[in-house]
Chains A and B, each alone.
Chain A
Amino acid sequence: MLENYLPVLIFMAVGLIVGFVLLTMGGFMLAPHKPDEAKNSPFECGFEAFEDSRMKFDVRYYLVAILFIIFDLEIAFLVPWAIVLEDIGLFGVLSMGIFLGVLVIGFIYEWKKGALEWE
């Protein structure tokens, strides 16, 4: 059972190694390396960079991240439910209906509050 996952583990390692090898080989062994001040400055349409680029950003990005956690968690609950749905039948559908119903009410609330508006 668990040994089925060995190829997966090895593949993940190979994927990372491929990335690492391509980067070190292509980037640092074959390629030239001649840094200068202008070349190494951040790109800004020809201007000198004049302030830190890690600036304040819109709170809505943060809001999206919070909403994402709620909904992603919901999906995590739905996945095992979907697998065994044929065995649990009406009881399963009703209990998930209540759970999803509560979340849908929350979703409607945040919609009406304008948390999903971007203008």
Chain B
Amino acid sequence: MIEYTPDFLINFWNWFPVDAQTVAIILGKIVLILLPLILSVAYVTYAERKVIGAMQVRIGPNRVGFFGFRLWGLGQPIADTVKLMFKEVIIPTQANKYLFLIAPILSIGPALAAWAVIPFDRGMALANVDAGLLYVLALTSIAVYGVIIAGWASNSKYAILSALRSGAQIVAYEIAMGFALVGVLMASGSLNLSAIVEGQAGGMSSWYFIPLFPLFLVYFISGVAETNRAPFDVAEGESEIVAGFHVEYSGMAFALFFLAEYANIILISALTALMFLGGWLSPFEGFTFLEGTMFEFLRETSLIWFLGKTSFFIFCFLWFRATFPRYRYDQIMRLGWKVFIPITIIWIFVEAVMMLAKVGPWAV
């Protein structure tokens, strides 16, 4: 590629100091991650309306298209974004103005930044850092600040009730989530997300969801609770507290919360795929009889596998919302504290014993 580039462009590039070049390359990669991500977020909202529509035997959005063609309503998310951009951002008089505006930024920032360490394919990660999982755990924890600050700064009764509920719920499920992650770490022996995926090499039977099945369920369900999605959406609870912590937000400020919620859904789905379902590894990896046939390519690792697994979990989020009625708050807390935490602690013990006895994925 370099030999086809005109000289003046190369000269122009070399004219920059090396540090600036490094930063420019990183920024380019970030754009390559963020643009598809934001586009996915937009189309997950569309998918949500379509999927739930189909599950309730409706059609869902089907009017807004491009250039006069309807195209099954594919223009809907774009139209929604444009509409939200041109809507007034109302700042209530009683609100703490600065906190009120900081809260959505605090929601969206970490939700996007967590993608820095996600590997998409073998060697395809922006930052292949050793503390990857710790970083993701830290950033997903920051999400709770966005909710609490939004609820407090709005100075509205519904908002503050929702912020309290949601804050308590998020921290409760974060413990179960953290314990489940400890189980994954014990199995993989590394915090590096790429190493965790490579530790699952060898076909579907060596993926961690089999030896860590209880942790897999706990992690995914906690992920649903962490993102405040149905059936754990008491924080939004339309029928009780209107819209919860973002009741006072409108226009782009509301859109940022919305964006953050969906970015977090995709993030949790991607993490579940990476940690329990072998990320980019092929489910047919162990099928030696495919060798030499035309289906041999199925055994290769690929970005497609990762995206497919992630999409499956995103679909589960939408499916849950269409299927389950909302939990009552005491049921949510009971599930988090009295079911998930004991299960994870017990499974960590079981895993430690399995490890000493050299059974499961640790039998080297």
Contacts and interface: CB of A to CB of B under 8 A. Distances in A.
Check if A and B associate: yes
Interface in B99-153: 101, 104-113, 115-117, 126-130, 134-135, 152
A42 B92 contact: yes
Contacts of B71: none
Contact of A15 (B112, B182, B338): B112
A9 B108 CA distance: 16
A61 B168 CA distance: 6
Interface in B20-49: 22-23, 26-27, 29-30, 34
A44 interface: yes
A contact face: mostly helix, strand, loop, or mixed: helix
Given A22-B252, A23-B252, A71 B109 contact: no
Q: For A8, A30, A107, which residue has the most chain B Cβ atoms within 10 angstroms?
A: A8
Interface residues of B, number: 89
A79 B85 CA distance: 43
A32 B134 contact: no
Contacts of B135: 8
B356 A12 contact: no
B80 interface: no
Contact of B26 (A7, A49, A84, A111): A7
A23 B105 contact: yes
Interface stretch (B61-69, B156-164, B279-287, B297-305): B156-164
Interface of B: 22-23, 26-27, 29-30, 34, 84-95, 101, 104-113, 115-117, 126-130, 134-135, 152, 154-160, 164, 167-168, 171-172, 174-175, 178-179, 181-183, 185-186, 189-191, 242, 247-248, 251-253, 255-256, 259, 329-330, 333-334, 337-338, 341, 345, 348-349, 352-353, 355-356, 362
The 7 closest A-B pairs by CB, nearest first: A26-B252, A118-B330, A27-B89, A11-B116, A19-B105, A75-B178, A82-B185
